[in-house]
Amino acid sequence: GAGVSQSPSNKVTEKGKDVELRCDPISGHTALYWYRQSLGQGLEFLIYFQGNSAPDKSGLPSDRFSAERTGGSVSTLTIQRTQQEDSAVYLCASSPSGGSEEQFFGPGTRLTVL
């Protein structure tokens, strides 16, 4: 596609449920990033994938959060046993080969945990 796409655009869930958020990076981009933007706060780095290398998970806030990237393309961010503090906009970005190149962002998924 022409840009980074994310689905769903909005997700409302009940506390304690699991959710999956999807990101389709720009075709050919080997680097993929997940960020979280909470209300009134800046973007917070969550996880980084680069090719076949082990992902940098240093930003994941707890073990309820996990992410995978299948076939070096699509990525899924999973949040287990969601809490109200998980409510935020989750943004995905990709870049051609990582290493601090320009990042291109998707429109985000707005997650609301009731």
Partner 1 sequence: KQEVTQIPAALSVPEGENLVLNCSFTDSAIYNLQWFRQDPGKGLTSLLLIQSSQREQTSGRLNASLDKSSGRSTLYIAASQPGDSATYLCAVDFNTGNQFYFGTGTSLTVIP
Binders of partner 1 in range 61-90 (CB under 8 A): none
Positive or negative torsion for Cα 10, 13, 16, 22: negative
Residues 6+ apart with CB under 8 A from 84: 15, 113, 114
Binders of partner 1 in range 8-47 (CB under 8 A): 33, 35, 40-45
* Binding status of residue 99 toward partner 1 by CB under 8 A: yes
Dihedrals phi, psi of 70, to nearest 5 degrees:
-95, 135
Nearest to partner 1 of 35, 65 (CB atom): 35
Say whether the peptide bond before residue 8 is cis (omega within 30 degrees of 0). Answer: yes
* Binding status of residue 60 toward partner 1 by CB under 8 A: no
* Binding status of residue 98 toward partner 1 by CB under 8 A: yes
Chain residues in the site for partner 1 (CB under 8 A): 4, 6, 33, 35, 40-45, 48, 50, 56, 59, 91, 93, 98-108, 110
